[in-house]
Structure 1
């Protein structure tokens, strides 16, 4: 890459210093993997100085340390605002080492002081019981990216850059990670980055050649093919390659200067000169050996520059004297006596290489987003209420109503709220947002395009991975957002949700981490109204996946109508440090509650709908429901029962927050036994119509007294392209079947109501026959509304 006729970027003194800093980071990294004691090798290495269990990843770490040291120079010289994201998150010892060298680690963890004792504690805690994880994690200062799973570094980087015009996100992508699907799609994020209002992302593809046990694809294709690939993605690659430290240092210093110059030129042209169009952003391809500076050979086999360097190159240090000797030789090769003074402090000339204060990447506020977070300026959601003159009498499209609210959220928060979705914003009836904003788009435009602009606040790309990752990066750096998705396909990000939930759980227990905005999902186009698409679009199981996560971070809401959806959405957008899942239909559906009633009901999370029940006092049966379609079928079943069996006392209970069903000992929203019994009784049958898989309701309620009387109807994996009512009949969730369930479960009712039961069975057959003849549901069913009995309250 470099032209040897040009003056080197680094002077000899600068080269020596930056190389020494790199040695210090490498030394601390190896020490974390191996050492319990003797942190600066002031005595000969002995078995008692070495950990009994050796855990960690060395192979990628020297490359991460190299880049970190050089970014520090850029930050100091340019006063640049930079955060560091590492795709090879298992290079955790490197990021911990650099945070310690910068002084940040001792600031946030006062027990890990600078000096010999602090180094001993730093080493001991790594991958040790009661210590810290081996991966880059929430415990690592400067990190916003959990390193436990590969594929998401670059998309997180872009999420962090959106609406951060002065920030540069340096993102190291391992060549193993580069083989994952999400990472491959993430390169296209540059088509959504506005050089006027957004920051910049500098991808650094680190090709060290190997994964755990195999070579990597991108390291084994010709250089011209590799460069063509990235030009095709819309980048200008700058290559740094070699295994001679002095040469690589000079190359990398020159490459980073070139990249930051290009970034500054692109932003200047867009912001000051008004230059439009999508720029060709720089990236760096860094080729260095895997496990560089580690043992060249172990037991006669090559290690440095091979897959054998991936984790712990010397794994038998307690049982093999040669391994122990090699470990000591390896550690002493960094010459720690030249790096640390007698007290164990980093020497001043090296400490001065790190930036100061918030400019340190380990202390950058963007990497602790809760510090920068500002509450949203939210309009009063009650102003968007639909009129409900009587329950279940008129209809509305709940998500379209929500769209008008979100439109004004966007207007009032133009720099800190974004709506993400995989090409489904209009399909999910949120199109009112386009009255206020466009969809972010920096690629080419066609005259027939609509609602596309670089400054758009709606972000659509046909990749659930990118939507989730962008939003995570956006939230982790202090902003707010909402991810809307078809219910069946949000499963694509199950694993990403896992990682984010773990991050939230871990960071909640870290004093210096500040709470971030909640990760909010709106799942619509759901299982019960995917009858036109068929079985491929029918899966309500994301709720089950979320319910497995730690209770302090997950919430699941099933608002039954438009006003309850508004109330729930407002609550979720105000909340911090949760994963909120809202499931709501987009099709016209009945309204049940006025706004005042909706607020009260959502605040309770579950409650009795007196207007839908029959009789007073203790009921003979409880009809419970959660979800908009189960609510419709439950209320319709209650209507049949009050008309046909007026002597039967029916209680209707609607559940908005399904975590309320758990005992209070299991979830912060859980009901006490007394509260649960007051709603559902201690001994009466409960027929529960539920949106998803029935087992979840059983699991949530099994500790309550009346669980044996609980009978749940939900999705039974029976779906196809059919009518909406035929869909609920396929799964025995329809109103007629619910009435049959009541007759079967209420003691003594089976004989008295035998005729009604037969009538209900016949009604099911008739409804199905109608669909087969007419291709649609019987209007008496699809157009059903609630008609209050004479004298009853509306």
Structure 2
């Protein structure tokens, strides 16, 4: 291999001028070479880690997995971050956007000692190096991506496009923290990343930390060139300046020159950040700053094979994954790999026992200043319990069920405002949402904090504040990423969204759930505050929106995921929403999805009843049914969700009036996981409990908030599944009245009564007149709504008279 790694450069010329003296340059280069050596070793070797014997096929892994192409650049950035952290005593965190460059981040945490501290069997010596190499992308080992198993990480390699928004989330309310974020040039083409550059308009230089993006342009994705690497520099500069950044360019393939240039760039960027924060914090300067960033251009697969089998590899897409694929079978490839590894001169980097030599570690900071040991990357070490007030202060009085109306999310807004006020000094709670906080009736928050905003303001603006902790931006991706970064670094929050648009972050929540599932199985990862969703403006109330705003399927998506992590709640009224929210905000290591309406809805339960019902998760409402306690009912009316609950109780009232001899049980489900068997979910009901509640052989008419087949999927193993009939959303309706929505989707009270007549044995003949009456009433309502544009008073003015 050419001597591409010598500090004097490829040509052997004197080192380029810059801030590094000869000793510093030599130390940084030694660390970089060591990290590169360890990265290559992880991809290829399962034995002979120090090349003490000639490299043979049996030393090579049978399956070669991993990504080399981005690793040298990540190692370069990590090496230089070590230098500035140590020199400036910085509290720092790094988010590695090209997370498939797992070998690099693992290599660096092994070099700084945090990997061995976390996993003592992977010691920082030859034996530990052998384990480090063997375990990478190996059965029973560690993933090829940066993952929860990697010390110092908060970002998984599968999270393409989310790195920068995670970095900003980590920086919010962390005024002493520097968050560097390496953005891959392929990643920069994604929608979430493109929107993330706008986060500069929300970063408060007084109360927040700083984010230093490093846009790493190495030119290629897995098989194609990247857009930002192929446009002229002036065009790229204009783009980045338009986003609010001051780009600093570092370009080259001469190691010494690049070391000097990157050291100068980092020093310049950090000096500028310090000056911005000083002006804002000490001099009161509230002008939005232009934050520095670094554009780093180095060859893809730098220091790897230049050619393989006559094809160019370094600085091409061919270096993206495994440049030498036939090492076990091709003697030429094996020789190239040996030359490649020896080009880093490992004998200069590691002593005879495999320990890094002092020169390699000269730039590495100590203790928690090491990137692999930052407590911000293990946020459970920092998280504190939220100061939640007593719910009695916000609960609604229920003197008579089903007569008074409240907007549940407005009631919740009072609780959230109290939490926001109680955390004003410690600043560890935020509410995020895409331009919908007031629309979702949470505007009580504005009594205690404003909306974060650093851009220009006008006299007509309301509630904008430099130090605000409500965050609104019309990008669900940014909201999700900000909150994830905030939670992963030890804080609390809630994401409020229109129900239909939660699907925009399906992939992001997938990755967060995977992260939590894995982290829960790592004893050194401490529990985090849960990711809490409030989904409102839901499918059943389309007073101002239409078909495009109807999709209750986010809960289906969530309930497909790891059962130890996911929870879904459908509180039927204001007090149950308070109880569920209190539980969710106290919880750890979950993704909690709460679906609750913002429109006026009936109050059914007192606060004490709500607490008991929510703790149970599902239960019979004796007051709503007609059972006498002497045996199973004739039929079970089950419901989940606020509107389905109202229609179910209205149907129960109709049955009480028209079929008084019929015994009816009304069951309400708050916690959707209760429907699962106990062996499938921690909240699942044992079969005897389920059978006692829903019966083993009686008809169950289930009115559900979302798509009906979810209930069937959750209950398909139950004894009485063949008796289960579910009504729910059927993709019908647009901007219309509340009752028309349930009517068009066959969830209305009259349809439910017809279902009872159809499914209770013998009732079809005895109650044929009632069934016909219910069908005629439905027709009358349909015609009235089409003529008048409103619901009939018998529905609009209905109250529970049980």
Q: Same fold (TM over 0.5)?
A: yes
CA offset at residue 7 of structure 1?
Answer: 5.7
| Contact 1:528–1:629 (8 Å) recurs in 2 | yes
Is 1:465 matched with 2:484? no
| Contact 1:175–1:206 (8 Å) recurs in 2 | yes
Cα offsets for 1:158-193 (capped at 9, x unmatched)? 000000000000000000000000000000001000
Distance 1:292 1:86 in 2: 18
| Aligned counterpart in structure 2 of residue 231 of structure 1, from 241, 261, 267 | 241
Cα offsets for 1:536-571 (capped at 9, x unmatched)? 000000000000001000000000000000000000
Cα offsets for 1:718-749 (capped at 9, x unmatched)? 12222111111111100000000000000011
| Aligned counterpart in structure 1 of residue 299 of structure 2, from 274, 289, 307 | 289
| Aligned counterpart in structure 1 of residue 729 of structure 2, from 715, 737, 761 | 715
| Contact 2:241–2:247 (8 Å) recurs in 1 | yes
Distance 1:381 1:306 in 2: 61
Is 1:683 matched with 2:700? no
Give the alignment's TM-score, normalised by structure 1: 0.98
| Aligned counterpart in structure 2 of residue 653 of structure 1, from 657, 667, 670 | 667
Match of 1:590 in 2: 602
Match of 2:84 in 1: 74
Distance 1:103 1:126 in 2: 18
Pair 443,86 (structure 1): closer, same or farther in 2 beyond 3 Å: same
Distance 2:735 2:725 in 1: 27
Distance 2:292 2:742 in 1: 54
Give the alignment's TM-score, normalised by structure 2: 0.97
SS of equivalent to 1:406: helix
1:63-142 map, 5 Å: 63-142=73-152
CA offset at residue 353 of structure 1?
Answer: 1.8
1:239-258 map, 5 Å: 239-258=249-268
SS of equivalent to 2:371: coil
Cα offsets for 1:288-329 (capped at 9, x unmatched)? 000000000011011000101000000011121111110000
SS of equivalent to 1:205: strand
Is 1:769 matched with 2:779? no
Match of 2:797 in 1: 783
SS of equivalent to 1:390: coil
Is 1:566 matched with 2:578? yes
Is 1:495 matched with 2:515? no
Is 1:580 matched with 2:592? yes
Distance 1:745 1:592 in 2: 28
Is 1:210 matched with 2:224? no
| Aligned counterpart in structure 2 of residue 428 of structure 1, from 415, 433, 440 | 440
Match of 1:359 in 2: 369
SS of equivalent to 1:290: coil
Match of 1:791 in 2: none
Match of 2:174 in 1: 164
Is 1:455 matched with 2:467? yes
Distance 1:436 1:759 in 2: 53
Match of 2:11 in 1: none
CA offset at residue 349 of structure 1?
Answer: 2.5
Is 1:641 matched with 2:659? no
CA offset at residue 352 of structure 1?
Answer: 2.8
| Contact 1:531–1:719 (8 Å) recurs in 2 | no
Distance 2:297 2:628 in 1: 77
Match of 2:559 in 1: 547
Cα offsets for 1:460-515 (capped at 9, x unmatched)? 00000000000000000000000000000010000001100000000111111001
Distance 2:98 2:602 in 1: 50
SS of equivalent to 1:130: coil
Q: Choose 8-17 or 552-561, whichever is displaced more.
A: 8-17
Match of 1:182 in 2: 192
Match of 1:750 in 2: 764
CA offset at residue 531 of structure 1?
Answer: 4.8
Match of 1:727 in 2: 741
Cα offsets for 1:45-71 (capped at 9, x unmatched)? 000000000000000000000000001
| Aligned counterpart in structure 2 of residue 600 of structure 1, from 601, 604, 612 | 612
Q: Choose 606-615 or 290-299, whichever is displaced more.
A: 606-615
Distance 2:322 2:360 in 1: 28
Distance 1:427 1:260 in 2: 40
What RMSD over aligned residues (CA atoms) do the two structures have, in Å? 1.0
CA offset at residue 382 of structure 1?
Answer: 2.4
1:326-337 map, 5 Å: 326-337=336-347
Match of 2:31 in 1: 21
Cα offsets for 1:316-348 (capped at 9, x unmatched)? 111211111100000000000100001000012
CA offset at residue 149 of structure 1?
Answer: 2.9
CA offset at residue 532 of structure 1?
Answer: 3.3
CA offset at residue 5 of structure 1?
Answer: 14
| Aligned counterpart in structure 2 of residue 50 of structure 1, from 39, 45, 60 | 60
SS of equivalent to 1:528: coil
Distance 2:392 2:655 in 1: 34
Match of 1:401 in 2: 411
| Contact 1:531–1:727 (8 Å) recurs in 2 | no
Cα offsets for 1:32-86 (capped at 9, x unmatched)? 0000000000110000000000000000000000000001000010001111111
Match of 2:487 in 1: 475
Match of 1:521 in 2: 533
Distance 2:542 2:287 in 1: 39
Distance 1:645 1:437 in 2: 54
| Contact 1:615–1:647 (8 Å) recurs in 2 | no
SS of equivalent to 1:284: strand
Q: Which runs of 5+ in 2 are unaligned?
A: 1-13
| Contact 2:307–2:313 (8 Å) recurs in 1 | yes
| Aligned counterpart in structure 2 of residue 380 of structure 1, from 375, 390, 400 | 390
CA offset at residue 703 of structure 1?
Answer: 1.2
CA offset at residue 435 of structure 1?
Answer: 1.1
Match of 1:792 in 2: none
Cα offsets for 1:171-219 (capped at 9, x unmatched)? 0000000000000000000100000000000000000000011111001
SS of equivalent to 1:529: coil
Match of 2:3 in 1: none
| Contact 2:27–2:362 (8 Å) recurs in 1 | no
1:277-356 map, 5 Å: 277-356=287-366
SS of equivalent to 2:24: helix
Match of 2:163 in 1: 153
CA offset at residue 530 of structure 1?
Answer: 2.3
Distance 2:642 2:382 in 1: 37
SS of equivalent to 1:651: strand
| Contact 2:112–2:372 (8 Å) recurs in 1 | yes
Distance 2:326 2:709 in 1: 48
CA offset at residue 391 of structure 1?
Answer: 1.0
Distance 1:277 1:481 in 2: 28
CA offset at residue 614 of structure 1?
Answer: 1.1
Distance 2:444 2:97 in 1: 37
Q: Choose 766-775 or 349-358, whichever is displaced more.
A: 349-358
Is 1:12 matched with 2:22? yes
